[in-house]
Amino acid sequence: MNKYFLLFIITALLTFSISSCSTQEKNIIDNDQVIVLKTDYPVAPKRPVVTDIHSYKLEDNYAWLKDKERKNEEVLNYIKEENVYAEHKLRKLSGLRDKLYNEIISRIDMEDVSVPVKLDKYLYYSRDVEGKQYSVYCRKLDVENSEEEILLDMNELSKGHDYTDLGSYKVSPDDKFLAYTLDTSGNENYTLYIKYLQYGRLLPVTIERVDDIEWSNDSRNIYYSTTNKENERTDKIFRHVIGTKLEDDKLLYKEDDPSFYVWVNKTKDKKFLLIGTANNTTSEMRYLSADNPLGSFTMVYPRKDGIEYYLEHHDNKFYILTNKDRAKNFKIMTVDENTPYSGKWKDFYEHRMDVYLEDYELFENYFVTSEITNGKRTIKVLDYESLNGKDISFDEAAYTVSLAWNPNFESNKLRYIYESLTTPYSIVDYDMETGKKEFLKQQKVLGGYDRIKYRSEKIFARSHDGAMIPISLVYNREKFKKDGSNPLLLEGYGAYGDINDPYFSSARISLLDRGFVFAIAHVRGGRENGAEWYEQGKLLNKMNSFKDFIACSEHLISDKYTSENKLIIKGASAGGLLIGAVLNMRPDLFAAAILDVPFLDVINTMMDPTLGTTVSEYEEWGDPNNKLFFDYIRSYCPYQNIRIQDYPDIYVTAGFNDPRVNYWEPVKWVAKLRDIKTDDNSVILQVSTSGHGGSSGRYDYYSELALKYAYMLDQVGIDN
């Protein structure tokens, strides 16, 4: 399929001429005026499909572009035309793109090695090789002068594939086997392979459509979850015994609720295997001794709508992260390992209305939490008995900190990751006994990066209902003038409770040094300020996300960080929904917009339960079979609300094999937008053969990023 589609693109580029794009006149009636525009872009035929629902006729002129099998020749030809048109429109940026690409690459250490993680008797790490797209995964014995053992060379595994992504990756407890999963299409359907490390060869069994994997303690059994073909949902857990045939694998659990996903993992102390199943608001877990792999899993507590709980284990107790008892910001409870199903859970770490408990980590002697208070993260290292301990706090205005991979239960060192808009990605070991920090590594920025040249701020914009919306931003001190003259890139997301963290980017320096301000609008729908912040931006409150973003844009303009003709907005996936909605509501505020794999046709997607994420996302957007939710989703859905008005220049990307936001959403939106809008600004659509995250190779990724930067610079009149 990929080769067939790629052939279309290659043929089109080799035979490119402007005549390959349709040219038509477009008549728009606006206030009884007929506006005639000439177009040189591909024009999709209109073939109305009408759905009667809730006494409303929902019309879709471009439904024919939705091809689940991705084999329709007419659709493929239309996408080919879009890519030809995009190539034509973006060709003028090739020189600037090359310059930016070389800048970006020049700041990156292409021979980098990750900080090793000790697991049992080995040190595990990855390294990058100059000129190679992918990492090489290695280990060596934790003794002096030990030799490197290459476990996986992703460059070798990627040969013959346009896309390669490593999913799960776990070595057996006896260090003899490596189980790993690969996706070579971008559709997130991973294949499980098991490598016998001593002999460097694969076992004869491969398993398709695998997500999570976990080993039993005896290293003879591997547990895995699988994705079904009906709606791309992980719904089954199997056990495979090393050395046996695939058909002998035992089905251990099947989830019948179409909104729930399943996974399998192990407690950090290696005592229990866990099967989890959850949708966006409810979870349920089962456990089994990892020393008894042939036993049966026992349910911890039956699911109850709206109650989430997740397990870890320490000293004969399960520690349960949960929102039970109206603990919307989460708390931790404990229960005896022999009777977790009794419901006799005890509060261990209490719920607080002003603190969101984001994560926790159990060690033999210490209990660690990651918390958010007033939009700022803190790590706490506590004693199990007294819950007294130390806070690891941070001083910068806009930063992010997270717990790293800490696989060693007995360790007294906590590893965490810190970065900010001005501080490169840093890995730190914190001695929980002494409080001493050891900076193991900071991302190298070649060419003499000086963080003092850049300033980050955290400011607030007042939204329509009085809520104060945080904005994290950074700029070059020497280039910035608070007079509205600076171009500004504003990003947003605001969905699923995900936190849009301030992050460092060495590539971004190319924008900052050319006078750009970079900003993140922390709109409601994320959890930057706790569970309430999330709830105020989902379901029947989703409109708050869009109004928050508009308020941030207006504030940045009124406070002279930028101006309407210098403000560029960007969002990806559900962030693309955000950008699509605000473009319909306030297109006058923006010079240009970039939408990456955007979720734009919310109403039609949520009405199709055969798509992978639909049913599970009723808890996020609402079920349109209910008229209340149907009317509300339709009121903001970007595809439904394109208006007869001017829009700024727009650049859209899509992944042809993307299983999360299917390619037809941005393709349909672009076709409809071009037909309805009244301006002659360009709408460019690029459809790649990749999946949701774009190119998998690092050089390809930076090439794509350089093109987007060139597009932004061109939009604000910067040509070098």
pLDDT given for residue 35 in this prediction: 39
pLDDT higher than 60, residue 13: no
Angle between helices 543-558 and 574-585 (to 10 degrees): 70
Q: Are residues 581 and 662 in the same domain?
A: yes
Are the CB atoms for 491 and 521 separated by under 8 Å?
Answer: yes
Distance CA 678, CA 39 (A): 12
Torsional class of 189: left (φ above 0), alpha (ψ -120 to 50), beta (otherwise): beta
In the chain, the percentage of residues whose pLDDT exceeds 90 is 89
Q: Is residue 168 part of a domain?
A: no
**Residue 92 in domain:** yes
Do 547 and 402 share a structural domain? Answer: no
3-state secondary structure of 373: strand
Q: Would you mind telling me the total number of residues written for the chain in this entry?
A: 720
> Do 493 and 397 share a domain, yes or no?
no
Span 515-540, mean pLDDT? 97
Q: What is the average per-residue pLDDT within 510-520?
A: 98
Domain assignment of residue 199, yes or no: no
Please list the active-site residues. 573, 658, 692
Give pLDDT tens digits for 362-384. 999 999 999 999 888 999 999 99
Mean pLDDT of 630-635: 98
Structural domain harbouring 371:
354-443
Q: Are residues 598 and 532 in the same domain?
A: yes
pLDDT, position 39: 53
User: Per the domain annotation, does 677 fall within a domain?
Assistant: yes
411, 366 contact by CB (below 8 A): no
Do 376 and 492 lie in one domain? The reply is no
- Could you tell me if 530 and 577 lie in one domain? yes
Q: What is the mean pLDDT of residues 479-490?
A: 98
Same domain as 660, residue 520: yes
Overall domain count for the chain: 2
**What per-residue confidence (pLDDT) applies to 342?**
82
Task: Reply yes or no on whether the pLDDT at 113 is more than 90.
Answer: yes
**Which of 372, 409, 680 minimizes the C-alpha distance to 528?**
372
How would DSSP label each residue in 599-633? ---HHHHHT-TTSTTTGGGHHHH--TTSHHHHHHH
Average pLDDT (385-403) is 91
In whole angstroms, give the CA distance from residue 56 to residue 51: 8
pLDDT digits (tens, 9 = 90+) for 88-109: 999 999 999 999 999 999 999 9
The C-alpha angle with vertex 469 and arms to 468 and 473, in degrees rounded to 5, equals 130
User: What is the reported pLDDT for 692?
Assistant: 84
Q: Rounded mean pLDDT of 333-353?
A: 93
Q: Is residue 197 domain-resident?
A: no
In this prediction the pTM is 0.92
Instruction: Identify the domain boundary among 414, 443, 472.
Output: 443
Looking at the chain, the whole-number percentage of residues with pLDDT higher than 70 is 95
Do 430 and 579 reside in the same domain of the chain?
no
Write down which residue in 443, 472, 496 finishes a domain.
Answer: 443
Residues 586 and 685 in one domain: yes
Question: Which secondary-structure segment (H or E) carries 347?
Answer: strand 346-349
The verdict on residue 227 lying in a domain is no
- Which pair of tokens denotes residue 59? 């019309």
Sheet holding 234-241, edge to edge: 210-215, 221-227, 234-241, 250-254
Query: What are the two backbone dihedrals, phi and then psi, of residue 478, each rounded to the nearest 5 degrees?
Result: -75, -25
CATH number for the domain that contains residue 80: 3.40.50.1820
State which H helix or E strand residue 89 sits in: helix 73-90
597 with 670, same domain: the answer is yes
Taking alpha carbons only, the member of 644, 637, 535, 515 closest to residue 576 is 637
Same domain? For 626 and 546 the reply is yes
Residue type, 142: D
Q: What residue has token string 């930028």?
A: 562
Query: Are both 711 and 640 inside the same structural domain?
Result: yes
